Structures are given as C-alpha cells and as structure tokens.
A and B are shown apart, each in its own frame.
Chain A
Amino acid sequence: MDEGLYSRPTMIQVEQLSKTYTVLKKKKGSLRRDREYIKALDHLSFTIGRGEICGYIGPNGAGKSTTIKILSGILHPDRNAGSCLVNGRVPWKNRLAHVREIGVVFGQRTQLWWDLPASDSFELLADMYQVPSGQRKERINRLKDELELHSFLHMPVRQMSLGQRMRCELSAALIHNPPLLFLDEPTIGLDAPSKIALRNFIRWLNREYGTTIILTTHDMDDIEALAGRVLLIGKGRLLFDGSMQALRREAGAEKRIVLDLASEPDPHSMRELFRGTELRLLEQNKQRLTLAFNPERLAATEALKMAIGNLQVADLAVEGQPVEELIAALYSRHNI
C-alpha cells in the first residue's frame, strides 16, 4: 500500500486476528458432550485511520460483534494468533485504561439508569470517566444542543420514546469525548426523522472532533449516508474493503429504468420487445415497467434511447440497484 504523505495516522490495526469458540454439543441419547470449534474470526486483517467513518457489515454470525467485542476489550482473541492495536493499545491488556478512551453504543441495550432522568446518568458517567468539571458542563451542553435533548433530559429514561432514548444513549457514550466510537445497530427500530437526525449528528461529530467511528448495521441506508468506507466480512474473513462505489462495481450493480406508460401494454409484446437486447425486463405491473441494465456494458443514454424508443412514456426514472440487493448478491457469491 502507498504510505504516502497524506495517509492518516492509524487508529485501529488488526493483523491476522483469529477467534475460536468452543461449543459443547450434546449428542442425542448420550451423556457425553462433544466439543465443537467454531471459527468466528479467521485471520482477519484491516487498518482504520483516525477520523474515518467505517461501515462494518456482514450477515448475522459473520463475526461482526466478535470483532467489536475484541476491539473494545471485552473479549480476548485466540492466543498467539495475530495482533491488534487500537488507539496505540492492545485492548484486552489493560481494559480499564482502554475503555476510558472509547465510546460504545449497543443499539438494543441501554447504559442509562432506567428509573432516573438521563441528566443523572450523564453526570454519573462523567464522574466515572473522570471528566474534569470544567470540560464537563461545556461537553454536556454541546451534546444537548446538537442532539436537541432539552425537552426530555429530565424525564425518567423509562418514559422516553425509542428515538429520544437513542439520542441519550449516544450522548452518554460521548460524555468523555472518546477519539473512537463503536456504534452497533444505532438506528434499529427508529422512525425516519430520528434516523436522519442521528445520521446528521454522527456526521457532525466526525467533522467537529475527528472522531473515528465504526458502524455495524444491517441498515444499508446508514452505510450509504455515513460511511466513506465499507468493510464486508463473512465467516470471519474480510471479503471486501473499499468505498461504496467500489462495492457497487464489485457486485456488478445494475441500473434501473422505471417507465410509466400512457396505456397498459400487452405483457407478451413487451417481453418480445426487449428480447435479445442489453435491457432486461424485470417487472411489469399494469402501466409500470422496470428495466435493468449493466452500466459497464451499456451507457445510460443508449439504454434510455433503447427503452423509450417505441413506447408512449408518461413518466420515467433512472435508479441505482438497492444496496440490500447488492449485499445479498455479494453474500451469495461468497457463499455466506
């Protein structure tokens, strides 16, 4: 790799990291249990620079949460298998020192005191992380403003809506201004406005403080909105590392043309019309036709000309292939 003048300093360096779980499986009709070894991480390597926002994706059981647990010091990797340096530290060597400088948000778990107002939790966490009293007030106010917490800050957490709670969770994880933030499914279950607000905040955080952010999620809109870089893992191995555009190319993403015709056409004649061309008829629903083409093989203008050619078009749109489909295609290509 090019270690150029402008490459960022490293935040996370993972080399040949492995993690094996031992599972005791009970055999039917036998009291003895068999040991089964499951390789959750299989010689995984990657590097993340300071100030990056990185999407970390993969299907369930791919090793995402194992990676996060190792990077945040919860879990030890296999002995003598690879190395891992986060923020200049081996996470599991000195856990207390390590966690002081990271923030973690688990989307489905709370770190707030359920029966108390979030403001109490913030104060307690600030004490726990030993945030100097001078900085603390400014910090909390800043988070309060950016995430618009004012109206519910003094409400018991248990009475908050999910969106309100998530905003508080995020603040709670950032009280100590960590240079590195892990977000695990931060937008799960949120409504659209909350999602957008949360994304805006994450972007702001990254810009303002240069916080490095690792985002694991199944929500590809999150990734597309936030992550400049995507790491895809499956079966404990790194399958892809690069930008979203590169991911599209890698997956052989198609473009789509959606046409609304003036009148409902005969399905058979439509199939005939596009037979043998670079345009593929994906779907026909009443007056609406969906066509697909590969932008590598057919320029968009050509495709449009071909599509509109002989038809009475009332309305049209060109779209990218939904990210979910791309990812699904990649998963199935890698057999995961």
Chain B
Amino acid sequence: MKEPEARNQLSHYIFMYRRMAALSIRSQWRYRKSLLLSIAAQFLIIGVEFLGLFLLFQRFNNFQGWTLPQMAFLYGTVNIAFAIADALAYGFDQMGPLLKTGNFDRLLVRPLPAVLQLLGMEITIRRSGRIFLGLATFSWAAWRLGAATVLAPASLLLLALAMLAGVLVFLSLFLVQAAFTFVTIEGLEFMNAFTYGGQQTASYPLSAYRKFMQVLFVAFIPIGSCIYLPVCLVLQKSGLPGLPDWAHVAGPLAALPFMAAALLAWRSGQRWYSSSGG
C-alpha cells in the first residue's frame, strides 16, 4: 500500500521542482540585460583562469606529462560540473540570510521538504557563463585530442557519469555548508576551501599534489574519484599510483555515499534548528 504513495510523492516533488525552476528562470528573464552582463563577466573570470593556464604552458611546456589539450579536457569537465552545481545551489547559498530574517520558517510551513524548496528557489542563470566556457574548453580539447577516441561511446558514457557525479559532489558540499549555517548563522567561509577549493584542485591532475591532498579529494571529498580518475581512463593517462583500473571506472560511484552523508548532515542541522529555535 505504501509503495504507490511514495512514488506519487516522488513524482510530485519532481513536478514541483520543475515548476519552481521554470518560474525562477522566468523571473530572471525579466532582467535580461544585467543577466547577459553577468554571463559575460563569468566568461571573463574563467577566461582569465584559462589564460593563466595557457601562459604557464607557454613557460613550462607540459604539466606532469599532460599536454594543453589534455589539461583543457580535464579543466572543461570539472568546470562544467561545478558550474551546474553552482547554478543549482543558489538556495543553499541563501541560508544565512534566510535564517537571519526568519524567512526560513516560511519554507517550513509549506508542504515540501526544505531542501527541495531551496533547490527550487533559483536556478541562477548568471552563473552559467562558466558552463559555456567549460563546454567551449571541453569541445576544443576533444577536437584537438581526436573526438573519435576521447568521445567514443564508452568514453562518452563514462564522462557523462563523471560529470553527473561531479555535480552531485559539489551540490553535496554546498548542502553541507548550508547545514552548518543552522548552527553558525553566519555563512561559513571556511567551506569555500572545499567548494571553490575543490573546483580549483580538481581542475589540475590530482597527481600534481602531495599525498594528503590526494587522499582528501579521493576518499573524503570524492571530487577526484568522480572526475579525475575517469578522465584519466578516457585520456589513457596513468592516474594515481596504487589504484587499480576498476577504481577509475567505479570512481563516480563515490558520489553516492558522499551525498548520503551530506543529506544526513542537513537533516541533523534541521533537527537542531527546530529544537533550538534558531
């Protein structure tokens, strides 16, 4: 008896998310002009990041045996995943102000889980500049590397999986950050080390870092497992020493336990909130 009801519930949630997302995009569309400016700005930001990479290549010729197109391939994959997560996570970002103004209570008197309402609060189009440049970088890299090899069906599937997993890991990080806000109210800047820092770290081959950093981003915050390892397989680069081949394929699965942990953190945060009253 319970089964169909749960499925109904889920389809209602999905329906509501799509409704909220559509509304959010419509309301942003009212400010097209400033939207375009923001997207252009985003373009510029990661443009200078990439310019930096390019200039360093000119100076040093290679990075740990990786060529520029190979680096761009990894860089593009990571940045597309990060940009999608960043655009979806606007509501998580707003937790500090929501709690300070008491508006979070508004979400709690509505018949939808708070996480879903936060996710639906806004899909930030102006953060999507990074997606476009990520795509551009990725496409350029794929063309230079020979699309036939790096985008063969098996590789493509693995890459899609890697990107999806990457989005989930970044979203989970933002969710943990939001969960902390229940206790600290002030936004937690130190979590930026793992969100933006994670994106920065994962944009370079993980082999460049010292051991503790590798362990951190493979085992604890598995953005490396989700993106770097599969990308290594696709580019036929040796990944991390001591890791078996299957780990490169199975890497993206690491997103699932991480997401579960993040949801758990959120739940205990919300429980803390409703028993302490903020």
A contacts B directly in the complex (CB < 8 Å)?
yes
Which residues on A are within 8 Å of B, measured CB to CB?
Answer: 19, 21-22, 40, 66, 69, 72-76, 92, 95-97, 99-100, 102, 104, 106, 109-111, 113-116, 120, 124-125, 127-130, 156
B23 within 8 A of A: yes
A69 to B102, CA, bound (A): 11
A113 touches B106 (CB 8 A): no
Leading 7 A-B pairs by shortest Cβ distance:
A115-B27, A100-B111, A104-B109, A74-B108, A76-B275, A116-B27, A99-B109
Instruction: Tell me, rounded to whole Å, the shortest Cβ–Cβ distance linking A323 to chain B.
Output: 28
Using A19-B277, A106-B106, A111-B106 as known contacts, say yes or no to A128 and B27 having CB atoms under 8 A apart.
Answer: no
- Chain A residues with CB below 8 A from B101, complex form: 109
> Which segment, of B11-19, B62-70, B125-133, B190-198, faces chain A?
B11-19
A96 to B15, CA, bound (A): 17
A294 to B101, CA, bound (A): 45
B276 touches A21 (CB 8 A): yes
B110 touches A106 (CB 8 A): no
From the candidates B28, B111, B113, B277, name the one contacting A69 in the complex (CB within 8 A). Answer: B277
B27 touches A113 (CB 8 A): yes
B20 within 8 A of A: yes
Which positions 185-239 of chain B face chain A at CB distance < 8 Å?
Answer: none
A40 to B275, CA, bound (A): 13
B49 within 8 A of A: no
User: Would you call the interface of chain A mostly helix, strand, loop, or mixed?
Assistant: mixed
- Chain A residues with CB below 8 A from B113, complex form: 96
A113 to B4, CA, bound (A): 32
Identify the closest chain B residue to A173 (Cβ): B109
From the candidates B19, B111, B277, name the one contacting A96 in the complex (CB within 8 A). Answer: B111
B23 touches A74 (CB 8 A): no
B105 within 8 A of A: yes
Instruction: Tell me, rounded to whole Å, the shortest Cβ–Cβ distance linking B192 to chain A.
Output: 25
A74 to B158, CA, bound (A): 43
Instruction: Tell me, rounded to whole Å, the shortest Cβ–Cβ distance linking A145 to chain B.
Output: 25
Instruction: Tell me, rounded to whole Å, the shortest Cβ–Cβ distance linking A129 to chain B.
Output: 6
- Chain A residues with CB below 8 A from B30, complex form: 115, 156
A75 to B113, CA, bound (A): 15
A104 to B102, CA, bound (A): 14
From the candidates B23, B26, B111, name the one contacting A129 in the complex (CB within 8 A). Answer: B111
B274 touches A92 (CB 8 A): yes
Tally of chain B residues near chain A (CB < 8 A): 25
B112 touches A96 (CB 8 A): yes
- Chain B residues with CB below 8 A from A104, complex form: 109
A109 touches B109 (CB 8 A): no
Identify the closest chain A residue to B27 (Cβ): A115
B112 touches A74 (CB 8 A): no
B94-131, CB under 8 A of A: which get 1 and which 0?
00000001110110111111000000000000000000
**27 A-B contacts, Cβ less than 8 Å apart?**
A19-B277, A21-B277, A22-B276, A66-B277, A72-B108, A74-B105, A75-B274, A75-B277, A92-B274, A96-B113, A97-B111, A99-B108, A102-B109, A106-B102, A106-B105, A109-B101, A109-B106, A110-B106, A113-B27, A114-B27, A115-B28, A116-B26, A120-B23, A127-B16, A128-B16, A128-B111, A130-B12
A41 to B124, CA, bound (A): 41
A120 to B29, CA, bound (A): 15
B27 touches A76 (CB 8 A): no
Using A75-B274, A76-B274, A116-B26 as known contacts, say yes or no to A127 and B109 having CB atoms under 8 A apart.
Answer: no
B109 touches A124 (CB 8 A): no
A40 to B112, CA, bound (A): 28
A116 to B15, CA, bound (A): 20
